[in-house]
Amino acid sequence: MIDLRVLRENPEPYRASQRARGADVALVDRIIEADEARRTLLQNFESLRAEQKTVSKSVGKASPQERPAILARAKELAAGVKEAQAQADAAAAALDELAHQFQNLIEGAPAGGEEDYVVLRHEGGRPRDFAAEGFEPADHLALGEGLDIIDTRRGAKVSGARFYYLKGWGMRLELALMTAALDRAVAHGFTPMTTPTLVTPQVMGGTGFLGAHSDEIYYLPADDLYLTGTSEVALAGYHADEILDLSAGPLRYMGWSTCYRREAGAAGKDTRGIIRVHQFNKAEMFAYVRPEDAAAEHERLLAMEEEMLALVELPYRVIDTAAGDLGSSAARKFDCEAWLPTQERWMEVTSTSNCTTYQARRLAVRERRDGRTSPVATLNGTLATTRWMVAILENHQTPDGAVRVPEGLRPYLGGLEIIEPVV
């Protein structure tokens, strides 16, 4: 949801945002027209209601001769008020529908589509030169099967394509990642939470996920509930319809949950292994902050993601995502992409988005300052997820099919240094 008053007074930044996203620029003018119609009809309703009150009060003071005409006028006004209210309500509903179609106003994101990102920097050292080391790297699934830690064949047998089992050290490696993320979040003042993975349409829609990509979400019609693809959704809904106290600083949470995505638009993409799957685990940061502090909080979340990537010793790059590749609620998004040796490409492992006041307006999350309430800003960021195992296995493999455990994860695995192949 956007600030209609600001859009009405200065529409050009909103047109520019839509243009940068490759979205419908004319939507701005349709919103302005709908807002004008709503305000005109609301003013008409209020004028008629004021006249109705005046006429109703005059009935008792009228003479017997005047009273029939006044009563007739009162009846006429009552019908007019009812009709005017219906028109004003319909105009408000039409405006609300249009306003909910508008994506968040971008803040600093480069214009363009999926390929128009800007690389901000490379970190974690140069990717390994496997040719210089004298062997061809195996992909994560071949490694996982050789180590007996990933089983996609039985996952497909039980649940269908894009499902899997993590076994033994595989399951423990994922748990080590998640626990390391938990420790990192707590050290930075985040409150850890396990979150619901089923939410109402109001919460799912309020976070902006029921737009163009709603076909990616699992829906349970018998219960009218959605399965979440990130705990961001449940954390955004946690303070819905509340007034927060941010005088002591932001409210920060880390959600630990299983996530579900249909991957309906990913046919033929990364079908091998566990890169694009229907079910995975994720540690997600979420912050409620004052709007003027949102940009600084965004940098803070990105820095925490990079701390985790350093912990697992991965080469990665940081990109500034282009406007046309942003989700509807994000004003700006930074991704960290780890190097994937066998595909010789960068693979997204973290995202952090500044959603400014967009989600808070839709979910009525406010703060009170100087005697007035106003929307807060919300931000989110990935701190660990199952997909990281893909990059860890491929980047830390040895010629004999074993995988070296990054030093930062060893304390969570009983000091284990090497995951050995199973003969």
Q: Which tokens in the block code for residue 378?
A: 């919300």
Pick from 101, 131, 165: which residue ends a domain? 101
Is 280 annotated in some ligand binding site? yes
CATH number at residue 379: 3.30.930.10
**Residue among 172, 184, 261, 361 flagged as catalytic:** 261
Cα separation of 100 and 213, whole Å? Answer: 14
Cα 224 to Cα 221: distance, rounded to the nearest angstrom = 5
> Looking at the structure, do residues 250 and 205 belong to the same domain, yes or no?
yes
Q: Do 326 and 389 fall into the same domain?
A: yes
Segments forming the whole domain that contains residue 159: 118-419
| Nearest CA-CA partner of 180 in 413, 418, 423 | 413
Confirm whether 51 is a catalytic residue.
Answer: no
Domain membership of residue 8 (yes or no) is yes
Active-site residue, 58 included: no
Backbone φ and ψ for 280, nearest 5 degrees, come out as -160, 170
Question: Per the structure, how many domains does the chain have?
Answer: 2
> What pLDDT does 1 receive?
67
pLDDT in tens, the chain (423 residues): 678 889 999 999 999 999 999 999 999 999 999 999 999 999 999 999 998 888 888 887 888 888 888 888 888 888 999 999 999 999 999 998 898 889 999 999 999 999 999 999 999 999 999 999 999 999 999 999 999 999 999 999 999 999 999 999 999 999 999 999 999 999 999 999 999 999 999 999 999 988 767 888 999 999 999 999 999 999 999 999 999 999 999 999 999 999 999 987 666 677 899 999 999 999 999 999 999 999 999 999 999 999 999 999 999 999 999 999 999 999 999 999 999 999 999 999 999 999 999 999 999 999 999 889 999 999 999 999 999 999 999 999 999 999 999 999 999 999 999 999 998
155 and 197 share one domain: yes
Classify residue 397 by its DSSP letter. B
Active site residue 261: yes
Are the C-beta atoms of residues 107 and 354 closer than 8 Å to each other? Answer: yes
d(CA 103, CA 19): 11
Q: Quick check: 276 and 266 in contact, CB under 8 A?
A: yes
State which of 66, 101, 136 marks the end of a domain: 101
Domain co-membership, 97 together with 122: no
CA dihedral (318, 324, 328, 329) positive or negative: positive
CATH number of the domain residue 35 falls in: 1.10.287.40
- Domain stop point among 101, 132, 163: 101
387 a catalytic residue: yes
Alpha-helical (H) ranges within 127-275 are 130-133, 140-146, 152-159, 168-187, 201-206, 232-238
Catalytic residue among 276, 290, 317, 404: 276
Q: Is 342 one of the annotated binding-site residues? A: no
Q: Do the annotations mark residue 56 as ligand-binding? A: no
In sequence order, what are the residues at sequence separation of 6 or more whose Cβ sits closer than 8 angstroms to the Cβ of residue 15? Answer: 25, 28
| Contact by Cβ (8 Å): 218, 262 | yes
Name the catalytic one among 51, 348, 374, 404: 348
230 in a known ligand binding site: yes
| 374 marked ligand binding residue | no
- The pLDDT of residue 266: 62
In terms of Cα–Cα distance, which of 339, 304, 388 is closest to 125? 339
- Whether 106 maps to a domain, the answer reads no
Please check whether residues 324 and 405 belong to one and the same domain. Answer: yes
